[in-house]
Structure 1
Amino acid sequence: MIQPNRRILGGAGAVLLVAAGAVAVSQCTADPVVETGNEEQAEEAVAPMDTLAMTPDAIRAANIAVETVQSGGLGSEVLAQATVTASPTGEAIVTALASGAVTRVYKRLGDPVRAGEALAIVRSRDAAQIAAAKTAAEAQAVLAQRNLARERQLYQQQVSARVDYERAQAEAAVAAAEAQRARLAARAANVTGDGSGSVVASPISGRVTSENVSLGAYVQPETELFRVADPSKVQIEAAVGPTDAQRLVPGDRAVVELPDGRTIEARVRAITPGLAGETRSATAVLDVPGSLQPGLPVRVRLLPSRGEVSDAIVIPEEALQTLEGRDVVFVRTEDGFRANNVTVARRSAGRVEIASGLKTGQMIATTNAFLLKAELGKGAGEEE
C-alpha cells in the first residue's frame, strides 16, 4: 500500500491557508462595512454629555428661574438699589372725621376692603350736632319755599306789594344755601343714618396695612386710625448717581430683580431733577405692572437710551457655572437644558459680560443654576 507523502500534503495545506488569507484581505479592502451603532458609540465617547432632560414641573419645583438674554454690554445698563412704594393713588390714610368714642371696628390688619366700605364707627356729639343742623336747615328751606309760593300768588293777585315777594325770594335762597351747606357738612363727617355717629370709611379698595384703633377709645378729628394700600398700584423708586441720571429719560426700559429670583419688566416714568441731600443721588421712578408689596427692597437694571451701544450679552453672575474647567451657561431647550460653553469678557457688580457662546433671545437658567450643574455632574458620575 502506498503511503501519502506527508511533506507534499503539508506544503499543499500551507498554500491553501495563504490563499484563503489573501482572499479575506482582498474582501476587506475592496468592500469595507461600517456599522452605524459603533460610530454613534464612538461619538458619544468623545462628546461631553452636556444636555439635561427636565420637565417644566421639575423646573418649577426646583425654583430654577429662566431669563431671556438681551444684547448690551455692562456700560449700557445702570444697576441701582430700589424700594417698592405705593403710588399716590395706591395708599390712603384713613382718619377720624369727628371727635368721639369708637363703638364699632369692622376691619383688622390685613383684611380686604372695598372703596367706601366702613372700617369703624365713632359715636360723636359733633356728628349728632351736624345731623341736627342738617335736619333743621332742610326744614327751614322747605318753609321758605312755601312762603315764597304764597307770596308769589299774592303778588300775582296784586294783594301784596312786590317788596314782600322779593323778600320771600331772598329768604328762600338763603334757606336753600344753608340746607346745602348742612348736607355737605354731614357728608364730610360721614354721619350715620340715625345721626348718632360718624362712619370711618376707606376711600380706596385694597387691604388694611396699618391700624391704630381700639373699641371705646376716644379720638379727635384727623386722628389716623387706618392705612389702606392697593398692591396693584405701586411704583419703584431707585437711587441713581448724578452721571447716570443724565443718561436716563422717561420711557427707558428697566428690569426689576425680585428677592425670589424672578425678574419683571418696568419703565422709567420720571427722574427727579434734584439730588437728595444725604445721598447726593437722584431718584428714578419706575412704573411696574402687577402686584408687589410696598416696602420690598429690590435691585433694578436700568437700560438708558443714551447708554453705550454694544452687541455683548450681560447675564447674572449666578447663571455662569464652571463645568470640567469650562465656563458654561445652561440654555433652555424643549426637553430641558443644555450647557453652552461661553467666553467671559468682564464682570461687575454681580453681572457678567459674555463675549461669545450666547445669542440674543435665548433663554438661560439664572437663579439656582448650580442645581443643574450638580445634576449633570451626578449623571456623569453614574455613567462612569
Structure 2
Amino acid sequence: MEERRARAAGIDITRVQAEGGTSQTMLPGTVAVPPQQLRIVAAPAAGLVESVLVAPNEPVKAGQPIARLRSTDLLEAQRTYLQALSGEALARQRLARDEQMFKERIIAERRLLTTRADYDFARTTLQEREQMMALLGMAEPDIKALRESRRMAAALVVTAPEDGVVLETRTSAGERVAASAPLFSIARLNPLWVNLQVPLPQAMVIEPGTRMSVPGTPAQGEVVRLGRSVDPTTQSVTAVVEVTDGAETLRPGQVVTAAVALRPNGTPQWRVPAGAVVRHAGRSWVFVQVSDGFRAKPVTVIAETASGASIRAGLAPDDKVVSRGILALLAELTDIYGG
C-alpha cells in the first residue's frame, strides 16, 4: 500500500516491544473429578430404602454402611442358598456312602460315577447361590452367619466401595428402587482435574507438562492432555490439568480462572497493541511495515488483554506493526489468502 493511501485510511504504526522469560495467560476452567475416581453406588436388588445413613459432602471409608435396603430378592436368594446348602450336604453324604459301598464291592462303578456327578452339580449350585448373595451385597460374615444359623435377614446393608466423599445422594428413606438404580455418587477428591477452555489461537503454545495455578489458592498442577476437537460455539479446545498440590482448596463444579505459565519455545515474544492482531483464515496476523508498504505476517497469540497482546513471531526489535486503521489492509489480506 502506498503511503498516501495509508494516511488516507488512518493507519497508525507502533514499534513492537520485546518480552522475555516465561509469560502467563489467564484462562477460564471448571473443576471436575477424574472419571476413574468417581464411583456410582447402585441398588444391588430391587426393594424399599429403609434408611439412608450418610449425607452429601460427608467423607466415608471403604466398607462403611451408607444405606439399608429391604428386599424380597434378598429373601429369595437366601432361600435358594439354604436349599442348595441342604442339597450339597445330602449329595456329599450319598457320595461318602457310595464310595464305601464301592470299596466293599456292593455297588457297581457306574453308580459311583453317577453319585459323584450329582455331588459336583450340587457343589456348583451352592457356589452359584453364594455368589448371587454376594452380588446382592451380603458380606462374607453375613453369609457365614446364615450358613450356621439358617436365619434369613430381611434387609441388606449397602456399603461404600472405597474411601471418598459423598457427592450426591439420589434416594431417600421410604423410596422404592429398582435393581441397579443409582443411589449415591462417591468420589476421591485428590487429585482433581481443571478443564481449561483454551482459545484456538493459544492452543498452539500449550502442551502436556505446562504448569497451571489458581490465583488466591495453593492449587497448582500441569496439563496432562490437550483436546483435539474444537467447540463450534466458542472455538476453543479443552486442556485437562491434573491438580496434585492444593487440590483440597478446590470443589468439583467450581468455576475458576487459572494462570497458565507458557515456556519459551525459541520463537521471539513481543508485546503489541490489542488492535494490531487480526484473525483470518483460522490464523492470527499482524501487518508489519516494509519498504513498499505493509506485509501480513502470521503470529501465535500467547495472551490478550483489552489494551495489548503478547505474540510469538519471527520479528525484529526495529519492526513496526499497524495498530489502527487495519480494515483496508484486511481487504488486501483477503485478496491474497482468500476467505
TM-score (norm 2): 0.63
What does residue 29 of structure 1 align with? none
Q: Is the 8 A contact 2:60 2:164 kept in 1?
A: yes
What does residue 318 of structure 2 align with? none
Deviation at 1:280?
A: 4.0
Equivalent position amino acid for 2:211 in 1: A
What does residue 368 of structure 1 align with? none
Residue 164 of structure 1, aligned match among 99, 103, 111: 111
What does 1:295-314 align with in structure 2 at a 5 Å threshold?
A: 295-303=253-261, 307=265
Q: Does 1:86 align with 2:33?
A: yes
What does residue 202 of structure 1 align with? 160
Deviation at 1:304?
A: 5.5
Deviations 1:108-154 (A, max 9, x none): 22322111211111111111111212222222223222322322332
> Match of 1:293, SS?
coil
Residue 116 of structure 1, aligned match among 54, 63, 72: 63
> Match of 2:166, SS?
strand
> Match of 1:132, SS?
helix
Deviation at 1:96?
A: 1.5
Residue 348 of structure 1, aligned match among 304, 308, 320: 304
What does residue 236 of structure 2 align with? 281
What does residue 186 of structure 1 align with? 133
Q: Unpaired segments of 5 or more residues in structure 1? A: 1-69, 313-345, 355-384
What does residue 143 of structure 1 align with? 90
Deviation at 1:85?
A: 0.5
The alpha-carbon distance between structure 1 residues 219 and 71, as it changes in their structure 2 partners (threshold 3 A), is: same
Residue 268 of structure 1, aligned match among 212, 223, 226: 223
> Match of 2:36, SS?
coil
Counterparts of 1:220 and 1:347 in 2: how far apart (Å)? 52
Residue 99 of structure 1, aligned match among 42, 46, 50: 46
Q: Percent identity?
A: 22
What does residue 174 of structure 2 align with? 216
Structure 1 or 2: more strand by fraction: 2
Q: Is the 8 A contact 1:117 1:201 kept in 2?
A: yes
Q: Does 1:71 align with 2:17?
A: no
The alpha-carbon distance between structure 1 residues 298 and 140, as it changes in their structure 2 partners (threshold 3 A), is: same
Deviation at 1:349?
A: 3.5
**Bigger-Rg structure (1/2):** 1
Equivalent position amino acid for 1:156 in 2: K
TM-score (norm 1): 0.56
Q: Unpaired segments of 5 or more residues in structure 2? A: 1-19, 143-151, 271-301, 311-339
Deviation at 1:267?
A: 1.7
Q: Is the 8 A contact 2:221 2:243 kept in 1?
A: yes
The alpha-carbon distance between structure 1 residues 163 and 233, as it changes in their structure 2 partners (threshold 3 A), is: farther
Deviation at 1:286?
A: 1.6
How many residues align structurally? 247
Deviations 1:243-291 (A, max 9, x none): 54454443x1322214xx1253312222233334544433222211132
Deviation at 1:196?
A: 1.1
Counterparts of 2:303 and 2:159 in 1: how far apart (Å)? 53
The alpha-carbon distance between structure 1 residues 309 and 97, as it changes in their structure 2 partners (threshold 3 A), is: same
The alpha-carbon distance between structure 1 residues 162 and 230, as it changes in their structure 2 partners (threshold 3 A), is: same
Equivalent position amino acid for 1:71 in 2: G
Q: Is the 8 A contact 2:22 2:263 kept in 1?
A: no
Deviations 1:152-183 (A, max 9, x none): 33233332222222212222222222111111
The alpha-carbon distance between structure 1 residues 347 and 302, as it changes in their structure 2 partners (threshold 3 A), is: closer
Question: Aligned-pair RMSD on alpha carbons?
Answer: 3.2
What does 1:325-340 align with in structure 2 at a 5 Å threshold?
A: none
Deviation at 1:186?
A: 0.7
Q: Is the 8 A contact 1:253 1:265 kept in 2?
A: no
Q: Is the 8 A contact 1:272 1:283 kept in 2?
A: yes
> Match of 1:255, SS?
strand
What does residue 152 of structure 1 align with? 99
Counterparts of 1:71 and 1:352 in 2: how far apart (Å)? 18
> Match of 2:219, SS?
strand
Counterparts of 2:307 and 2:100 in 1: how far apart (Å)? 88
